[in-house]
Homo-oligomer: A and B are copies of this chain.
Amino acid sequence: MCPRFKQAFDLLGKRWTGLILRTLCGGPRRFSEIAAIIPDMSERMLSERFRELEDAGVVNRRVYPETPVRIEYELTEKGRGLHPVVEAVQIWADEWLPE
């Protein structure tokens, strides 16, 4: 098994990661926005996935020094490289899965 492919799916094959990535494909988001878009996922889980995605260099956490502080999550260039994967999943889902 290709080690790189395995590494990629160690990241992508975790629950919620695909949905988080799709949400960020639409641009930077706040934590609360993502939590609202994926209601079944706990905030503790979202924090955990963000840590993993930041460690993997796929997501960047941007802090705006305003009052109150504003924090946004965005895809890095490496993260934006996953757009084709997200699109390919969407195309398959639209063709093969019931509404």
When each residue 29-40 of chain A gets 1 if its CB lies under 8 Å from chain B and 0 otherwise, what string results? 000000001100
Give the number of copies in the complex. 2
Cross-chain contact B38 with A19 (CB below 8 angstroms): no
- Please tell me if A70 contacts chain B, counting CB pairs below 8 Å: no
Interface on chain A toward B: helix, strand, loop, or mixed SS?
A: helix
**Quick check: A19 and B9 within 8 Å, CB to CB?**
yes
What's the nearest-Cβ distance from chain B to residue A6, in Å?
6
Known: A9-B19, A18-B13, A89-B12. A4 touches B94 (CB 8 A): yes
Q: Which A residues lie at the B interface, using CB under 8 A?
A: 1-9, 12-19, 22-23, 37-38, 78, 81-82, 84-85, 87-99
